[in-house]
Amino acid sequence: MRGFSDILPPASRRWGMLEERAREVLGGFGFSEIRVPILERAELFSRGIGEETDIVEKEMYTFEDRSGDCITMRPEATASMVRAYIEHKLYAADPLVKLYSIGPMFRHERPQKGRHRQFHQVNVEVFGVSQPMIDAEIMAILMHYLSLVGAAGCRLQVNSLGCPNCRLPYKEILRAFLKNHLPRLCEDCRRRMERNPLRAFDCKVPGCREIMSEAPLISAYLCAPCAEHFAAVRSYLETLEIAYEVNPRMVRGLDYYTKTAFEVVAGELGAQNAVAAGGRYDQLVAALGGPDIPGIGFAIGMERLLLILPDEPLSSGPSLFIAALGEGPRREAFSLSYKLNRAGVRTLIDYEGRGLKAQMRRADKFGARYALILGEEEQRTGQAILRDMKEKKQEEIPLSSIFEEIIRRVKGRSP
């Protein structure tokens, strides 16, 4: 199906590596993993993300299941994580809860580079902290992860979207501006103008972009607490020595954000240039039926992250190939290979009983770093030959302690 991909080896190893690093980094900062279902009631997203957003208006996979319930394949994870936080009263002991989740999201979009219908995110959320320190910390964690995995050319952009107090009057002003440019706006922007004029900043139609480059900006209309919060976030970013840019036109595609919003963009990605994005959502927990607890989080788009990683050669070949000739040695190779694999030495044998030359060709083909030769001759002399395929050297090792000798030489060496 278009927009749905298989992740094949050896690329799947890089996926595994990225997920492992995310677990390490997040675990180190005190986050715990949460796994939420892929399906949720459709209304969770329409209420959470907002009716007049691209996601809810055009992108959700929503269907009626066999019991007539209206179900959606999650297009993002924050709403589900908030639902779980409320449903399981995770705030009961203390509202401060740090969670992360890794998994697929589904949006019916036009597939292209960096845009898929099933894509994958690492999602990170902190509940229960309204202080701006956490905003800066969470961005710092994101930037740390991106640099740790080797993502190149990442720039952090931040903005403040204000709160209902300052956003409502600002929306009026923006609406008035949009009305003046009505004939040149796309259909979506016109339709959303009444209830959600901010959406126009996120519109990708060139004509709308041009108009929006002249639009009044929320930064000039922030209320005192929002302006103070934003200034503090920036100063804490500076304390942590995190480079950032203020992008006053960044609004994000989801309605739940309040105050801080941020994106990490990478020039290399072209039109789909956001690798990760997030923000504060101080009203979302309450809006979804929970207590009045603030939250902040971000999502990293793994497909886009992969696009900006350097292509390092990924080898998944065995460390050791055992070439064996004759029934006795083949049985010996079979058992030794099992024990070595169990001990963490990636070992491959030839199952087909080919000749020595053919077996060595296979060792080459699979890119094995070492080849062990076990033949009738070796059995007689009690010595096997271990060949270093890279250095083109070989040595004899005694069969009596072959397992230990191989472990000593091969384990931990890259192929």
Q: How many residues comprise the chain?
A: 415
**Near ligand ATP by CB under 6 A, which window of 141-149, 188-196, 270-278, 338-346?**
270-278
123 touching ligand ATP, by CB under 6 A: no
The tokens for 168 are 């409502």
Does 115 interact with ligand ATP (rule: CB under 6 A)? yes
Near ligand ATP by CB under 6 A: residue from 72, 272, 337, 359? 272
Tokens in use for 269?
A: 């990605």
Q: Which residue number, 54 or 332, has a Cβ lying nearer to ligand ATP?
A: 54
Nearest to 53 by CA among 207, 157, 214, 189: 189
**SS3 category, 332:** helix
- CB 56, min distance to ligand ATP, A: 11
CA distance 165 to 161: 11
Number of H helices, E strands in the chain: 15, 16
Select the residue interacting with ligand ATP from 98, 107, 346, 369 (CB under 6 A). Answer: 107
Q: State how beta strands 258-266 and 370-374 pair.
A: unpaired
Name the minimum Å distance from CB 49 to ligand ATP: 9
Could you give the CA distance from residue 27 to residue 20 in angstroms, rounded to a whole number? 10
Q: Dihedral (C-alpha) 127, 133, 137, 139: value to the nearest 10 degrees? A: 90
Two tokens, residue 355: 């000749």
Q: What distance in Å separates the CA atoms of residue 41 and residue 63, rounded to the nearest whole number?
A: 10
Total chain residues near ligand ATP (CB under 6 A): 18
Nearest distance from C-beta of residue 65 to ligand ATP, angstroms: 24
Minimum separation from the CB atom of position 244 to ligand ATP (A): 16
Q: Does residue 79 bind ligand ATP (CB under 6 A)?
A: no
Q: Tokens at residue 141, please? A: 């964690």
Minimum separation from the CB atom of position 222 to ligand ATP (A): 22
Sheet bearing 118-127, strands edge to edge: 32-33, 97-106, 118-127, 295-301, 274-280, 258-266, 154-160, 245-246
Partnered with residue 70 across adjacent β-strands are 64
276 vs 368, which CB is nearer to ligand ATP?
A: 276
Task: Count Cβ atoms within 10 A of the Cβ of residue 145 and give its class: 0-12 exposed, 13-18 middle, 19 or more buried.
Answer: buried
Judged by CB under 6 A, the residue of 299, 340, 363, 368 near ligand ATP is: 299
Of the candidate residues 90, 277, 374, 397, the single one contacting ligand ATP (CB under 6 A): 277
Determine if 121 is a binding residue for ligand ATP (CB under 6 A). Answer: yes
| Binding window for ligand ATP (CB under 6 A); candidates: 25-33, 288-296, 300-308, 374-382 | 300-308
- The reply on whether position 275 binds ligand ATP by CB under 6 A is yes
What DSSP line would sit under 30-52, residue for residue? T-EE----SEEEHHHHHHHH-TT
The Cα angle at residue 40 between residues 34 and 44, in degrees rounded to 5: 100
Pick one of 303, 332, 350, 378: the residue that binds ligand ATP (CB under 6 A): 303
The whole-angstrom separation of Cα 205 and Cα 385 is 67
| Per CB under 6 A, 301 contacts ligand ATP | yes
Which of the ranges 28-36, 84-92, 181-189, 299-307 carries the binding residues for ligand ATP, by CB under 6 A?
A: 299-307
Angle at which helices 327-342 and 402-410 pack, to 10 degrees? 50
CB of 142 to ligand ATP, least distance (A): 11
* Residue 91 to residue 94: CA distance in whole angstroms: 5
Smallest CA-to-CA distance from 346 within 338, 356, 354 is with 338
Of 9-17, 25-33, 207-215, 295-303, which part binds ligand ATP (CB under 6 A)? 295-303
Q: Measured from the CB atom, is 303 or 332 closer to ligand ATP?
A: 303
User: In the complex with ligand ATP, which residue's Cβ is closer, 144 or 339?
Assistant: 144
Q: Which of 26, 42, 45, 76 binds ligand ATP (CB under 6 A)?
A: 76
Tell which positions 165-224 bind ligand ATP, by CB under 6 A: none
Alpha-carbon gap, residue 201 to 250, rounded angstroms = 7
Closest approach of ligand ATP to the CB of residue 103, in Å:
12
Question: Is residue 346 at the binding interface for ligand ATP, with CB under 6 A as the rule?
Answer: no
**Segment 241-260, which members bind ligand ATP (CB under 6 A)?**
253
β-strand partners of 383 = 398
Q: How far is the CB of 107 from ligand ATP (least distance, A)?
A: 5
**Residue selected from 119, 170, 230, 256 as contacting ligand ATP according to rule CB under 6 A:** 119
User: What residues line the site for ligand ATP (CB under 6 A)?
Assistant: 76, 107, 109, 114-116, 119, 121, 253, 272, 274-277, 299, 301, 303-304
